[in-house]
Amino acid sequence: MVTGLKTGDQSAMAELYDRYSSVVYAVALRVLGDTGAAEDVLQEVFLQLWRNPSAFDAARGTLASWLAVVTRNRAIDSLRKRRPETDIEDVVLSVAPDLAAEADRARVAEKVRGALGGMAAPQRSALEMAYWQGMSHSEIAEKTGEPLGTVKTRIRAGLMALRKAFQT
Amino acid sequence: MTEHEQYAEDLALYALDALRGEERARLDQHLATCAACRLELEQLRGDTALLALSAAGPRPPQRARKRLMDAVALEPRVPVLEQTSTGRGWWGWLGWAATAAVLILAASFWRENVTLKETLASASSQAAESKRQLEELRQIAAPIIEPEAQRVTLVAARTPPQPQGKAFYLRKRNSLVFLANNMPALPPQKAYELWLIPTSGNPIPAGVFKPDAHGSATVVNPPLPPGTEVKAFAITVENEAGSLAPTSPILMMGAGE
């Protein structure tokens, strides 16, 4: 489908939208909590892919995960009322074999929610504040009243726990 | 604590865009010179993708699809024949080289045609013309082929140089050409080893290489079992003499495009 975009094929764009718009919209809505703002981000993300399909490198992960990360970054920029900070070409993910099959996205989501549910509440909370609210570690420390070092450790340990859940 | 362990927690924050100010600037500096930390950052970003994929919710309204497709229809695009080269290392340079080569060939064929028509007039003038053409080609190609030529790659200012490799594999001829750039230097006794990962079976050694002072390296037609169907290529760090099987973690990997 991305190859179709490179040739300027509008039907490839429609097919790609039908397959991935639910992921993009869910991520945008989770960050922004507002359907209108989420639709704006949805529009922006797909239009950027249309304008520059080469920004996605198939050798480095699935389109679903790439779109999810690009959307999250754009949504956080929108939430914090700042200009886009990350160019979509700068979003580089390592190959994640467990995400290779797009059809398994529901299973992946379930597994992530399971891993998050298994974390201690303060750890999950630190990770979610950083990811879904775009808070810096010092903002999280200020909000929770915890030392900076503790916040850093919790966030890294949270990501490692997620990684581990997909290695077993 | 090793240098990499020192950065481990900051890398996680960086992957989440949660690191700011001086700490971010310091890590940016380190990332520009440390391939291991860049690799870890990519893996951490992969981990954050998992978080993003955990989001669930309603499907977008139908009007969003119409809005997008209307906008797409207003922006018809010409087919992209070559990848644009923003921030992609010297592939852009190769594009220029390929364009130059095509131009040279085209000019050469055109001139050859003209020359043939003049052959009857004078065999000696043809020889002179050929010599002149050869000299002209040599001059045009000199910046591309001369070893002492300066080669400058322009990339986006805030993109740290990323190690990149490109493998060209032609199974029916058992032929492999591999080009790499921005590869970090290695200790004296170590080298990079390229692996062909077949669709079934163990990784096959596909050449050992050391990058030059600019981080560039090539592997041309290493000995390979004939007719091997490839699933991916990968790179590890091995002893200088090479290994028969990978003994260290994969640093770089890519499947077919």
ipTM, interface predicted TM-score of the complex? 0.82
The pLDDT of residue A36 is: 93
Question: Quick one: DSSP state of residue A34?
Answer: -
Q: To which residue do tokens 């929108």 refer? A: A78
Instruction: Work out whether strand B230-239 and strand B252-255 pair parallel, antiparallel, or are unpaired.
Output: antiparallel
Same domain, A138 and A87: no
Neighbours of A104 (CB within 10 A): 15
Same domain, A29 and A57: yes
- Does 3.30.310 match the CATH number of domain B164-255? no
CB A74, CB A110: distance < 8 Å: no
Strand partners, B235: B194, B252
The pLDDT of residue B90 is: 44
The pLDDT of residue B235 is: 93
Average pLDDT, chain A: 84
Tally the domains of chain A: 2
Distance from C-alpha of B58 to C-alpha of B112, rounded to nearest angstrom: 66
B78 vs A8, A10, A162: nearest CB:
A8
Residue A105 makes CB contacts below 8 A (sequence gap 6+) with A23, A64, A99, B53
Neighbours of B255 (CB within 10 A): 15
The backbone region for A5, taken as left when phi is positive above 0, alpha when psi lies in -120 to 50, beta otherwise, is: alpha
A108 vs B11, B53, B73: nearest CB:
B53
- Domain ranges (residues) in chain B: 1-77, 91-145, 164-255
Task: Check CB contact under 8 Å for A25 and B57.
Answer: yes
Q: Give the gap in angstroms from C-alpha B97 to the nearest C-alpha of chain A.
A: 20
Enclosing domain of residue A36? 1-95
> pLDDT tens for residues B97-107?
555 555 555 55
Structure tokens at B138: 């040599």
Same domain, A126 and A61: no
Q: What angle do CA A87, B159, B55 make, to 5 degrees?
A: 40
Distance from C-alpha of B45 to C-alpha of B51, rounded to nearest angstrom: 10
B1-77: CATH, from 1.10.3470, 3.30.160, 2.170.120, 1.10.10: 1.10.10
Best of A136, A163, A167 to mutate (most B CBs within 10 Å, chain B): A136
Same domain, A77 and A158: no
Q: What is the pLDDT along chain B (257 residues), one digit of tens a residue?
A: 456 667 888 999 999 888 888 889 999 888 888 888 888 888 888 888 888 888 888 889 999 999 999 999 888 765 544 443 344 444 444 555 555 555 555 555 555 555 556 655 666 666 677 777 777 776 666 666 666 666 565 655 555 678 888 888 888 877 888 888 888 888 888 899 999 988 888 899 999 998 888 888 888 888 888 888 888 899 999 988 888 888 888 888 888 65
> pLDDT tens for residues B204-225?
999 999 888 888 888 888 888 8
> pLDDT tens for residues A1-54?
677 777 788 898 999 999 889 989 999 999 999 999 999 999 999 999 998 888
Task: Check CB contact under 8 Å for A50 and B77.
Answer: yes
Same domain, A136 and A155: yes
Q: Which of A71, A95, A119 is the last residue of a domain?
A: A95
Same domain, A82 and A140: no
